[in-house]
Amino acid sequence: MRKAGWMMLGIVGAVVLALSGAALAGEALEINGVFAGEGHPKGWSPNKPGYWDDEGKVALNKIPDTEKTALQLTSQSKKMHLFTKQFPVAKGDKVVVKALVKGKGAGSLGAYTYPGGGWVNKEFKATAEWTEFVAELSFPEKVENVCVVIGITPGSSVEFMDVKAEIVKQEQSQPATK
């Protein structure tokens, strides 16, 4: 094949890849992942009772030399989670949660599921450098609503920044059949 033919094949491949990526783009969820608010981010609630460290802390930290704010969760003895409002999902939908994280210990990105009050999550180990973590979450068949959740394990102190979540509809995540 000539050089021009290979270049054309490469361009066509790139277009197909870009279009297939666009088909997987989901519906962005409004979760205040920039953590606007004073002392406590608007739209996020602590998981209580009995699931919150009384000595734990929630802090909003301005990131130097940027306009960004990070949410820091610090726990001594219990897991700590913050969650958002509920969003509707359909059978087969997935939720993708992304965040930049750093700190010490471990944490998770996940979703509470309703009805039933269960949850699904993906855990990460925090490091001293900002690292992107992505959790692609699938749900049991009877789930109708989800709340996005961020959390940490006992003895951890983790900062979360730029948290984004989207619902990927079943028809977007399944290949077309003939």
Listed residue (132, 112, 135) closest to 123, CA to CA: 135
pLDDT tens, per residue, the chain with 178 residues: 444 433 333 333 333 333 333 334 689 999 999 999 888 899 999 987 677 888 889 999 999 999 999 999 999 999 999 999 999 999 999 999 999 999 999 999 999 999 988 999 999 999 999 999 999 999 988 899 999 999 999 999 999 999 999 999 976 545 544 4
Domain residues of the chain, as ranges? 27-173
DSSP one-letter code for 33: T
> Which residues are paired to 164 by β-bridges?
98
Which tokens sit at 72? 């820091």
At 117 the pLDDT is: 81
At 141 the pLDDT is: 82
At 171 the pLDDT is: 66
* Separation in Å, CA 39 to CA 30, 44, 57, 70, 120: 20, 12, 10, 12, 28
Q: Does domain 27-173 have CATH number 1.10.580.10?
A: no
- Other residues' Cβ atoms within 10 Å of the Cβ of residue 31: 22
Backbone φ and ψ of 100, nearest 5°: -90, 135
Listed residue (112, 132, 137) closest to 122, CA to CA: 137
Report which secondary-structure segment, H or E, holds 6: helix 3-24
Size of the chain in residues: 178
* Strand residues in the chain grouped as ranges (E): 27-28, 37-38, 40-41, 45-46, 57-62, 69-74, 80-88, 94-104, 106-114, 118-125, 131-138, 145-152, 157-168
